[in-house]
Amino acid sequence: MSRIVALIPARAGSKGIKNKNIYPLNGKPLIEWTISKAKEIKQIDRVIVSTDGDEIANISNKLQAEVFFRDKNLSSDKSLVVETVRQVISELEEQNYIFDFLILLEPTSPLRNCTDIEGVILELLNGFDSAATFSNAKLNPHRAWSIVNGVPSTFIEGAIPWLPRQELPEAWELNGAVYGININSFKKYSGISLLFGNKKSILMPEERSMDIDNLQDLKIVEHFMTQEE
């Protein structure tokens, strides 16, 4: 049986919403939605929250998630999540804990469901080095523009942004809901992307792909949750 660790990165600082990762969402701290979903997945052996915040740590402990305090240099808004992943892997190795896969779950994607997480796990079990969830791109890159000295030009050379949506090339974006990595493959990799090697996409519908960045996003998600109840 493969051992799987779920990692939830949750730093204390946030510019869009103060204390975003523990901000109330439909009666619960935001991070609780992700911890609870991770604990529902039977294949996941350990649920770890990486944080620099005492409040986040206390809430996570109450929800029976493990807490790993991260280095301060990994807690700024410019820090790369891949470095937090490396630190957690290093700490687990110091515990002599051997595991096969790591599933990264951002707290800002509370609408993901078990199927989305299990889909990524399945692809890792199928032999992929990494996998992640995608949704339809909010803006097709063929409709994006570059502006230099006030002069607009298509971001993609030769693109025709005036075409009907149906005639534009299909475009997808990482929605940040679920990432998965094979630990042995990751140790041989030195880049900053969480998608590397033999990689696989898992497609998610837009209604589950909302990423909370500001209060408006949070209100939209809360309204959606209320409608679903």
Write down the pLDDT at residue 170: 93
- DSSP assignment of 38-93 equals HHH-TT--EEEEEES-HHHHHHHHHTT-EEEEPPGGG-STT--HHHHHHHHHHHHH
Residue 13 reports pLDDT greater than 80 = no
Residue 93 structure tokens: 């190795």
Q: Please give the Cα distance from 98 to 183 (Å, whole number).
A: 10
Write down the pLDDT at residue 172: 96
Average pLDDT of the chain is 94
Q: Alpha carbon 146 to chain centroid distance?
A: 28
Contact between 210 and 217 under an 8 Å Cβ cutoff? The reply is yes
DSSP 8-state secondary structure symbol assigned to residue 119:
H
Write down the pLDDT at residue 18: 86
Kindly report, residue by residue over 161-193, the tens digit of the pLDDT: 999 989 999 999 999 999 999 999 999 999 999
Whether the predicted model's global pTM rises above the 0.75 cut? yes
Annotated domain spans of the chain? 4-136+172-228
pLDDT category at 12 given cuts 50, 70, 90 is confident
Residue 224 reports pLDDT greater than 90 = no
Domain 4-136+172-228: top CATH class: alpha beta
Q: Indicate the helix (H) or strand (E) that contains 30.
A: helix 30-40
Q: Indicate the helix (H) or strand (E) that contains 202.
A: strand 199-203
Write down the pLDDT at residue 228: 65
Write down the pLDDT at residue 75: 75
